[in-house]
Amino acid sequence: MTPDEKNRLLALIANPPAGSKLAAAKEYGVDLTLIAENLEMTLGERLKRASEAARFFKALQGAARRSRAEK
């Protein structure tokens, strides 16, 4: 993504056109800045991040389960 494209994207998500799905998503509570961040990544980078998140989430679940069992 070029700096110009990034600036256009950031401007769009900061002030989405009224009545657009972007505006509706923002109103719904979607953090559009996270989508913008993801769009800056390549597909491989997105999958890597998703894999890391999945591993972290699974480890967290295991830790929580062990903690509950100890109580």
Partner 1 sequence: MNFEQVIAILAGAGVEFVVIGGVAMSAHGLARVTQDLDVCYGRSQENIRRLARTLAPYHPRLRGAPDGLPFSFDEKTIAAGLNFTLITDLGDLDVLGEVAGIGMYPAVFAASQEVEQPAGTKWRVLTLEGLIRSKRAAGRRRDLEVIPELEALRELPPGLEKKE
Note the residues at the interface with partner 1 (CB under 8 A).
Answer: 1, 5, 8-9, 12, 16, 20-22, 24-26, 28, 30-32, 34-35, 37-44, 46-51, 53-55, 57-58
Q: Give me the least distance between CB of 71 and partner 1, in Å please.
A: 25
Q: Give me the least distance between CB of 46 and partner 1, in Å please.
A: 5
Nearer to partner 1, 34 or 70 (CB): 34
Helix-, strand-, coil-residue percentages of the chain, each rounded to 5: 80, 0, 20
Please list, residue by residue across 31-63, b when 16 or more beta carbons sit within 10 angstroms of its beta carbon and e when fewer do: ebeeebeeeeeeeeeeeeeeeeeeeeeeeeeee
